Amino acid sequence: MGHNLNFNENTGRYSFFSVQQKAWHGLGQIVSDYPTSEEAIKHAGLDYEVLKKPVIIKNVGTMGQHDGEPARGIDIEIPERFGTYRSDTNQAFDVVGKDYQIVQNREAFSFFDAIVGGNDGILYETAGALGRGERIFITAKLPDYIRVGSGDDVTEKYIFLTTSHDGSGSITAAFTPIRIVCQNTLNASLRQMSNVVRIKHTSGAKQRLENAHKVMGVADRFSSRLEDIFNHWARVKVTDTELRKILEVALCPNQATLENIKNGNADENSAIFKNTVEDAFAYAMVSDSQQMDTTKGTLFGAYNAVTGYFQNVRKYKNEEAKLQNIVLGGTAQAKGQKAFDLCTGFAEKGIAILN
């Protein structure tokens, strides 16, 4: 399996750390205790500064011979364009405009420290750099849990942050609940309420980063709302036939496939799609995490059958592709959201929502 973790030639280490779990492909540092932000930055190989310098094109054109000197070019500085690079290895990232505000890796961690306040509460679980170090990610666990049913089915509360140093994308922080028994990422945006905060890399980025923890009060609002929703879904019964229908609609790749499902012509759909539905259905029927009181024959189980399929059944070309799919706006995240919306409708209107 391939990966895109940054390898630092200077230190001979991969830029990644994980607490008590196998790091990607056995690479990176595994630590036994939750680190402070200062320790996490070092463990993950993120203790470098990002700098920028003017973009200069060397030896443009030639000047004629003069006083016996050979012909030579001239250096031209491109106005208002800068190259970003990392301080420790001098590796270049990309060209950015004059308004681009570098957000240092340590500032991304200070954002987390500010959410809960002090070192109590926030637990850094993974962090790392991709590519040449131009993209970094951090996952940190918040105190408290979302509990479904009598208490055995527990979902931990995470904030996932990613930022880049090459001018692409924004600083993104997302509230990401993860169900412990199966490590399902239960990403969901509620109606009129997003679980994602985006901060642009422009002149006010540092200030916005410092203030973002206020916006992440969204995590608290989301937690209580999701706890209510998931507990309600754990009490809504779903037959095997309804489960299969939910899976078909949630995993549907296009309109033509959906029309076949709704018109009772599911046999006409592709073998790949049918196999996907079968795999998700089998996961719902046999996985231990799906046989709990909260999930067996329930709407909460149907939702987890979709998220669990992408997390625990589907094969990816590498771990970065999986990360992209599940938490960075890829297919799995989109299908998980579709399943969430379908289950919300089912809870209100029953099977009619699928027809």
Distances (CA, A) of 3 to 7, 26, 318, 321: 11, 11, 6, 9
In sequence order, what are the residues at sequence separation of 6 or more whose Cβ sits closer than 8 angstroms to the Cβ of residue 77? 54, 55, 56
The structure tokens listed for 239 are 């037959």
DSSP string, 259-296: HHHHTT-GGGS-HHHHHHHHHHHHHHHH-GGGSSTTTT
pLDDT (mean) for 198-223: 69
Is residue 193's pLDDT more than 70?
no
Residue 49 pLDDT: 92
> Would you kindly state where each structural domain of the chain is located, as residue ranges?
7-48+101-229, 234-354
Contact present, 70 and 171 (Cβ < 8 Å): no
pLDDT (mean) for 41-64: 80
Q: SS3 of 9, please? A: coil
Residue 46 pLDDT: 92
Is residue 252's pLDDT more than 80?
no
Is residue 181's pLDDT more than 80?
no
Amino acid in position 306: V
pLDDT band at 9 (very low <50, low <70, confident <90, very high): confident
Residue 116 pLDDT: 62
Share above pLDDT 70 across residues of the chain, in percent, rounded to a whole number: 77
349/205: higher pLDDT: 349
Residue 1 pLDDT: 35
Residue 355 pLDDT: 60
CA–CA separation, 126 vs 139, rounded Å? Answer: 5
- Nearest 5°: CA angle at 183, between 179 and 189? 55
Is residue 165's pLDDT more than 80?
yes
Is residue 57's pLDDT more than 70?
yes
pLDDT band at 164 (very low <50, low <70, confident <90, very high): confident
pLDDT (mean) for 17-40: 78
Q: SS3 of 121, please? A: coil
Tens-digit pLDDT profile for residues 301-341 = 889 888 888 787 778 777 767 777 776 667 778 888 888 88
Task: Classify burial at 296, counting beta carbons within 10 Å of its beta carbon; exposed 0-12, middle 13-18, buried 19 or more.
Answer: middle
The structure tokens listed for 322 are 């999986």
Residue 48 pLDDT: 92
pLDDT (mean) for 239-260: 77
Distances (CA, A) of 78 to 57, 166, 202, 339: 7, 17, 20, 49
Share above pLDDT 90 across residues of the chain, in percent, rounded to a whole number: 2
